[in-house]
Amino acid sequence: MKRVLVACGNGIATSTVVASKIRDYAEEQGVSLSTNQCKLMEVPGKADDYDLIVTTGQFDGSIGTPIVRALSLLTGIGQEETLEEIVGYLK
């Protein structure tokens, strides 16, 4: 099972919406994953425990875990491409 960390400004509302969309799409694609949420500033301390980091805001830190910016999962513009990119990292 793959682990995805979803990070937003406060680690609550926005990341909840994004994590839900990721889980739903991954399930449709046959990818088993778990998601956790956090604040953007918590990413550096948690990144090593995850296969992928998904952010809704600007993250400029240097970490070894792949990062996908997913503002499109909130706006709907380019959402399908972002979901495909996320699942691509997890397959």
Domain boundaries, the chain: 2-90
Query: Which of 4, 6, 7, 8 is labelled catalytic?
Result: 8
Say whether pLDDT at 85 is over 90.
Answer: yes
Active site residue 38: no
Number of other CB atoms surrounding residue 41 within 10 Å: 12
CATH topology of domain 2-90: Rossmann fold (3.40.50)
Residue 86 scores a pLDDT above 90? yes
Tokens of 33: 């994953």
| Per-residue three-class SS string for the chain | CEEEEEEECCCCHHHHHHHHHHHHHHHHCCCCEEEEEEEHHHHHHHHHHCCEEEECCCCCCCCCCCEEECCHHHHCCCHHHHHHHHHHHHC
Grade residue 59 by pLDDT with cuts at 50, 70 and 90. confident
